[in-house]
C-alpha cells in the first residue's frame, strides 16, 4: 500500500505543480488529500477484487469519481481559489495516476 501511495504522489505532485500549486501549504494539501483518499481507495478496491473480481472495474470507476470529488472539495477547503480549476486539477491528477498505474500493470 505504501508503494501505491508513493507512486500516486510521484505522479500527482508534478501535475499539481503544472496547475500552479507551488507554495508549501498547497503542496502539503495535495499530499494530505492523497493520504486520505489513496489508502481508502486501495483497501476497498482490493476487497472487491478478492470478493468479486467481475465487480472490480465498475467499482474502481465509481471509486475514482468519488476520490476526485472528495479531493476537489478538500483542496477547495484547504487552499481555496477557483472551484472549477481545483475540480480540473483533481480530475487531472487522478487521471494521470490511473494512466500510470495501468501502464505499469501492462509491463
Q: What is the pLDDT of residues 73-99, one digit of tens each?
A: 999 999 999 999 999 999 999 999 999
1: confidence class by pLDDT, cuts 50, 70, 90: confident
Give the global pTM: 0.92
pLDDT beyond 90 at 60: yes
> What's the pLDDT score for residue 105?
86
The count of structural domains within the chain is 1
Q: CA-CA distance, 78 to 33, in Å (whole number)?
A: 9
97: its cell numbers: 495516476
Sign of CA dihedral 17, 19, 42, 38: positive
Degrees, nearest 5: CA angle 8-89-32: 50
Domain that holds residue 11: 2-106
Amino acid at each position: 500500500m505504501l508503494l501505491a501511495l508513493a507512486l500516486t504522489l510521484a505522479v500527482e505532485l508534478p501535475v499539481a505543480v503544472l496547475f500552479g500549486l507551488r507554495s508549501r501549504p498547497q503542496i502539503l494539501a495535495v499530499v494530505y488529500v492523497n493520504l486520505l483518499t489513496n489508502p481508502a481507495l486501495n483497501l476497498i478496491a482490493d476487497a472487491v477484487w478478492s470478493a468479486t473480481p467481475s465487480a472490480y472495474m465498475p467499482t474502481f470507476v465509481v471509486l475514482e469519481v468519488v476520490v476526485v470529488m472528495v479531493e476537489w472539495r478538500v483542496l477547495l477547503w484547504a487552499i481555496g481559489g477557483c472551484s472549477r480549476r481545483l475540480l480540473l486539477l483533481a480530475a487531472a491528477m487522478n487521471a494521470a495516476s490511473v494512466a500510470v498505474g495501468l501502464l505499469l500493470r501492462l509491463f
